[in-house]
Amino acid sequence: MRVLLTGSSGWLGRYLAPLLADSGHKVTGLDVAPGTHTQVVGTVADRALIERTMGEYGIEAIIHGGALHKPDIVRYPRQAFIDVNVTSTLNLIEAAVAAGNDRFLFTSTTSLMIRSDVRAGAGEAGAWWMDEDFGPIEPRNIYGITKLAAEQAVKLVHREHGIAALILRTGRFFPEDDDTHASPSGPNLKANELLNRRLTVEDAAAAHLAALEAAPAIGCDTFILSAPPPFARAEAEELARDARAVIARHHPDAAALYAAAGWVLPETIDRVYDPSRAERRFGWRARSDFGSVLAALRNRTAQPFAHDPGYISPIARQERDSCMC
């Protein structure tokens, strides 16, 4: 298919564009910042540009991954989040309908489910078990608010016009350091997060490809993308009290492998993302999980996740470089 990929210069885009191309799709990348996989440099908020691009490249499907996201909160006013995340999503899906496309993918975020009480820690029943039915949803920042509004706009256009529309609520896959956690940090933190709230960028890209192919058969649905947790829902209470005991049950050698690496396991886990609907409905399951982390420690091979403390979004890099001139 001829696919328009927004955010093609970004972290996801640089993995997803080649994966789509290798799978036989003809990809047109659109991003406000230039990049290897970006043919159209411009903003998704520019409706005329979107309509022109749809026609010029004969676009048959859109994957909308371009966005301002959490690290951008300190860099941009709230209005920019509304323009880029909400207005652009509406522009794109309406352009898709006008062009007669039968499918649209929206890259959303698990972060919109993190209310202030979820962020504060485990709930009364233990770790929050977060699947697509989790609610009520009350995002705590402008990033989550605009992603939720965009999800609603996508569903509205699906209801009105029937275009297949899949919403991919993606867990963490960024390569940079977390901006809020101090200890543990770096690769240790990323390894721990593969237990309950992270996936690799390769797996995120593979999920988008699988969703693109399955979309017409699904119609409209929301999916959490994360590495499969080793835990069962029945362990939620114990996870919030003694995560190490639960981890030991599923991975008896985890403590020794971690100790040898000088890493620490989480003492408690207060939320678990459940990606099982994506597996049930379109057959995607992340290839890398916490078991892969342990295998890498055991075999002294590279960890499955990328870690790059220096990574910043292309749009932020572009702005930083223009300020330095």
Where along the sequence are the contacts to ligand NAD (CB under 6 A)?
Answer: 6-7, 9-13, 31-33, 43-45, 65-69, 84, 107, 109, 170, 172-174, 313-315
Q: Which is nearer to ligand NAD, 92 or 246 (CB)?
A: 92
What DSSP assignment string belongs to 197-261? TB--HHHHHHHHHHHHHHHHHH-EEEEEE-PPPS--GGGHHHHHHHHHHHHHHH-TTHHHHHHHH
What is the closest distance, in whole angstroms, from the C-beta atom of residue 278 to ligand NAD in the complex? 14
What is the closest distance, in whole angstroms, from the C-beta atom of residue 14 to ligand NAD in the complex? 8
Q: Which is nearer to ligand NAD, 14 or 251 (CB)?
A: 14
What is the closest distance, in whole angstroms, from the C-beta atom of residue 105 to ligand NAD in the complex? 11
What is the closest distance, in whole angstroms, from the C-beta atom of residue 99 to ligand NAD in the complex? 18
What is the closest distance, in whole angstroms, from the C-beta atom of residue 281 to ligand NAD in the complex? 19
Q: Which is nearer to ligand NAD, 173 or 258 (CB)?
A: 173
Q: Assess contact for 196 and 273: CB atoms under 8 A.
A: yes
Bridge partners of residue 128, in order along the sequence: 271
Rounded to whole angstroms, the Cα distance separating 276 from 131 reads 8
Length of the chain: 325
Instruction: Tell which phi-psi region holds residue 190, choosing left (phi > 0), alpha (psi between -120 and 50) or beta.
Output: alpha
Q: Which is nearer to ligand NAD, 126 or 229 (CB)?
A: 229
Q: Which is nearer to ligand NAD, 166 or 246 (CB)?
A: 166
Q: Which is nearer to ligand NAD, 140 or 250 (CB)?
A: 140
Rounded to whole angstroms, the Cα distance separating 86 from 312 reads 22
Q: Which is nearer to ligand NAD, 69 or 251 (CB)?
A: 69
Q: Is the peptide bond before 34 cis (omega within 30 degrees of 0)?
A: no
Q: Assess contact for 31 and 9: CB atoms under 8 A.
A: yes
What is the closest distance, in whole angstroms, from the C-beta atom of residue 68 to ligand NAD in the complex? 6
Q: In this structure, what token pair is assigned to residue 312? A: 């910043």
Residue nearest to ligand NAD (CB): 10
What is the closest distance, in whole angstroms, from the C-beta atom of residue 131 to ligand NAD in the complex? 16
Rounded to whole angstroms, the Cα distance separating 41 from 49 reads 10
Give the neighbor-by-neighbor strand order of the sheet with 164-170: 40-41, 26-31, 2-6, 61-64, 103-109, 164-170, 220-225
Rounded to whole angstroms, the Cα distance separating 93 from 103 reads 9
Q: Which is nearer to ligand NAD, 126 or 222 (CB)?
A: 222
Rounded to whole angstroms, the Cα distance separating 58 from 123 reads 49
Rounded alpha-carbon distances, angstroms, from residue 128 to 61, 134, 239, 289: 35, 9, 10, 20
What is the closest distance, in whole angstroms, from the C-beta atom of residue 314 to ligand NAD in the complex? 4
Helix (H) or strand (E) holding 40: strand 40-41
